[in-house]
Amino acid sequence: MSKTMKAMVYHGANDIRFEERPRPEILQPTDAVIRLTKTTICGTDLGIWKGKNPEIQDTAVAKTGLFDGRILGHEGIGIVEEVGSAVKNFKKGDKVIISCVSRCGTCENCQKQLYAHCQNEGGWIMGYMIDGTHAEYVRTPFADTSLYLLPEGLNEEVAVFLSDVLPTSHEIGVQYGNVKPGDTIAIVGTGPIGMGCLLTAQFYSPAQIIAVDMDDNRLAMAKELGATHTINSAKEDAVQRILEITGGRGVDCAMEAVGVEATWDICQNVVKEGGHIANVGVHGKSVNFELNKLWIKNLTITTGLVNTNTTGMLLKTCCSGKLPLEKLATHHFKFSEFEKAYDVFKHASDENAMKVMINYE
């Protein structure tokens, strides 16, 4: 068996290459090695490649001593190739969903379900602190608590979204945003995360869902998936339009799902007193936070990195067929076309791409 594999390797802003790399090995008794069968590209991967989020690279360098040469990616499904001696729940040949967050399950933060901040070298580390899923094989730490058996019959493309997109949207957007029956909510940004927020918000029966974007194709999909109103912020004043829709009151919850100042600014100007701003987007630069206007409004403003504490519930919901997530996989590529997949996702608006799916088999 070959000791090497193909992988997409990061070498700096706008420099990512399809290279030969050593296959991962078991390093800890709790590890597993997975042979990937499907993966996708996250907006965070794209942000790293484009140089949008330099603090990610800086943090990785500070903690690990390097980032040049990192294999990106933290989403995917595959087949267990090898397990460490302490792994009890999985065996060679099992089909699994890989969680973007690795958790020991025993540290102080894990006991609080803050799995994103696992203190025992866990949390979001894959494709960041350690090599990730944009390769033929990946090592997954804490396999027993960081993998999910892939149910027979579940659409495998939907399963890939359970790695990150769906739990991030549900937990950091909808749950942190405290969406309740009868609420009016605004989702600013209808990329994969925004669409995940739109779909999972409907678990809680909001009365109105206002989707905001600059892409008419994405807004059309948002309408199809349940938005009651859509606003193209490139063509009209989104703040004014949202206030018109809500009779001047604003929304109960505004979800920022992009990670740029313009979308944050819409959110902070449309939330009503007592409401919530749930920041889901990954920001690479500071934004203007108008605390001088907001302090009086009794707001709750949340940020967060996904904990994946609702992944099990979301997995069951996906098995029921009630979430049409397969619509998000708009473009498909072979593993050998990984570089093309990155390029298409980088120019998602021009390509009408929502989420790109990479198939290994």
Per-residue pLDDT of the chain (361 residues; tens, 9 = 90+): 689 999 999 998 889 999 999 999 999 999 999 999 999 999 999 999 988 888 888 888 888 887 889 999 999 999 999 999 999 999 999 999 999 999 999 999 999 999 999 999 999 999 999 999 999 999 999 999 999 999 999 999 999 999 999 999 999 999 999 999 999 999 999 999 999 999 999 999 999 999 999 999 999 999 999 999 999 999 999 999 999 999 999 999 999 999 999 999 999 999 999 999 999 999 999 999 999 999 999 999 999 999 999 999 999 999 998 889 999 999 999 999 999 999 999 999 999 999 999 999 8
Domains 4-164+307-359 and 167-302 share a fold: no
Question: Any idea which residue has 């707001």 for tokens?
Answer: 299
Q: In what order do the strands lie in the sheet with 208-213?
A: 229-232, 208-213, 184-188, 251-256, 271-279, 300-302
- State the virtual CA torsion across 220, 222, 227, 231 in degrees, nearest 10: -60
Distance separating alpha carbons of residues 74 and 140, to the nearest angstrom: 10
Task: State the fold for domain 4-164+307-359.
Answer: Quinone Oxidoreductase; Chain A, domain 1 (3.90.180)
- Give me the CATH code for the 167-302 domain, please: 3.40.50.720
Indicate the DSSP class of residue 99: P
**Left (φ > 0), alpha (ψ -120 to 50) or beta: where does 200 sit?**
alpha
Per-domain boundaries in the chain: 4-164+307-359, 167-302
Distance separating alpha carbons of residues 355 and 16, to the nearest angstrom: 19
